[in-house]
Amino acid sequence: MTDAAAAAPGADYSYCETLLRRDDPDRWLASLFAPREARPHIHALYAFSLEIARVREIVSEPLLGEIRFQWWRDALDAPDRADVAANPVAGALLDTVVRFDLSKQALLDLIDARLFDLYDDPMENMEQLDSYARATSSGLFRLARRILDQDEAAEGLGAAEHGGIAYALTGLLRALPWHCARGQVYVPRDILEKNGVEPAELVAGISSPGVLAALAELRGFARRHLEIFDTRLVCLPESARACFLPLSLCEAYLRRMEKPGYDPFKTPVGLPKWRRQWILWRAAGRWSEALR
């Protein structure tokens, strides 16, 4: 354990890695390509995101979720409280925030965006979905990038923004059956209307031609952001590339959704562990060559 990680109890960082390995294996596998000294802090950041993302799953009503979110807001403002110190994810995250001067506002924005998850309100349009993805996924990539490389001159290149939107859209498409089963529809209403689809069709799990066309349109948005990300990647310092490696898995997931017979409500969209490891390894080598 490095001096940076040792300042917060090592058990806190170990807890974060265990949580990430179990519940977000793609990001955990990608983190193995980051420098060893940075990994505990990457794990802390992603574990925080996991804690926020799964609040809806563990509360019985939205108000209880809002209370949990407020706890995290208060923790960022008052990190010395006893209940904050007793939370291993909070302990590791707050130590990471201090050591890398991470933006607390970005973390607050992520929490605020996740309020949408607590309710069954529709996603009105693509602009709203973009904003949601920027505050959650793009913000997370931006913070992870700062852990690996603090060169603020490269912050405006847009790699985190476009990569984050692509990653969020891919993840939402993969999670579609679980979201719809609990009454949540992340596919924007304007895209559904354009394809003659009512949100109730998604909640009912109906794979109509209109539903499939709407999902194909979302995949198109994801790919466009991936293409823009690829053009920005070569401008980033090599030290920052590892935090973006989860994006290398997106194309494989998108292709799985385009196989004949794909049913978005019945066909799991996953990859064997060996396949994910191979994709990440190939991307790490390819990106390294491209940046030289």
Q: What is the pLDDT of residues 20-76, one digit of tens each?
A: 999 999 999 999 999 999 999 999 999 999 999 999 999 999 999 999 999 999 999
Q: Is pLDDT of 4 > 50?
A: no
Q: Mark which of 56, 84, 119 sits at the end of a domain.
A: 119
Q: Given this model, what pLDDT does residue 200 score?
A: 94
Q: Given this model, what pLDDT does residue 6 score?
A: 46
> If pLDDT is split at 50, 70 and 90, which confidence band does 270 have?
very high
CA distance 174 to 191: 18
Looking at the structure of the chain, the number of domains it has is 2
Q: Which residue has the tokens 């807001």?
A: 73
Residues 171 and 87 in one domain: no
Q: Is pLDDT of 2 > 50?
A: no
As a 3-state breakdown, the chain gives helix, strand, coil percent values, each rounded to 5, of: 75, 0, 25
Residues 6 or more apart whose Cβ sits within 8 Å of residue 19: 47, 50, 89
> If pLDDT is split at 50, 70 and 90, which confidence band does 154 have?
low
- 89 token code pair: 């994810």
Residues 14 and 39 in one domain: yes
Residues 65 and 192 in one domain: no
> If pLDDT is split at 50, 70 and 90, which confidence band does 277 have?
very high
Q: Is pLDDT of 227 > 60?
A: yes
pTM of the full structure: 0.93
Residues 167 and 63 in one domain: no
Three-class secondary structure of residue 251 per DSSP:
helix
- 198 token code pair: 């009512």
Find the domain containing 36 and state its range. Answer: 1-119
Residues 114 and 125 in one domain: no
Q: Given this model, what pLDDT does residue 82 score?
A: 78
Q: Given this model, what pLDDT does residue 289 score?
A: 59
Residues 20 and 139 in one domain: no
